[in-house]
Amino acid sequence: MGKDQAPLDRELEDLPTELRWRSWMGRIEAVLFASATPVSREALQRVVGPGASVDLLIEDLRVELAGRSFEIAGVADAWTMRTRTEFAEAICVAANLGDQGMEFTPYEMAVLATIAYHQPISRAALKDVFGKDINRDLIGRLYARDLIATGPRSPQRGAPYTYVTTQGFLVAFGLQSLRHLPDQEQLQDAGITVA
């Protein structure tokens, strides 16, 4: 903040209650619109009064945006503004993006799902699950797409590295948290095997 800039008036006490609420909604909408990554509750709370409920403000914004081409989605224990899936093809055509989807072979999806459900999981444990060593190129592609990262290691000397999913994984699959992973029966119905 520059030295001539006044601090943000979070409380907006000089405004009537309804106008104060709408101003807070506008601030949250602006922050979500401008952010390239999901925004946490704590970050959003910094732009509204301390007594304001970020959850209720988000809900009111969702209602207001119903029927629009974009939505507010809860991902990775935060919120993001994104285009609704039914408009993805129009965006790709207009921007000449081609196919930007994350395509996975059934094997790649099985490895990723196994990491998600059993994290932190070591390379040796993955080998036990699949009966063969996991290709380093596959692990590299999952790292490059920001879907997995190196997880915690046991404090023992020489303990193996483990893999965990990332916030990028949650965002890519539209999950608010790992608690929102589909149950394994649903995955099996979709043809994805998780050990």
CATH of region 17-88: 1.10.10.10
Q: Where are the domains of the chain?
A: 17-88, 106-189
**Average of per-residue pLDDT across 170-174:** 83
- Encoding tokens for residue 80? 């993001």
Same topology between domain 17-88 and domain 106-189: yes
In this prediction the pTM is: 0.60
Q: What percent of the chain has pLDDT over 90?
A: 27
Quick one: fold of 106-189?
Arc Repressor Mutant, subunit A (1.10.10)
Q: What is the mean pLDDT of the chain?
A: 85
pLDDT tens per residue, range 73-120? 888 778 988 888 788 778 777 776 555 556 788 888 889 989 999 999
Contact 24, 57 (CB under 8 A): yes
pLDDT tens per residue, range 27-56? 999 999 999 888 999 999 999 988 899 999
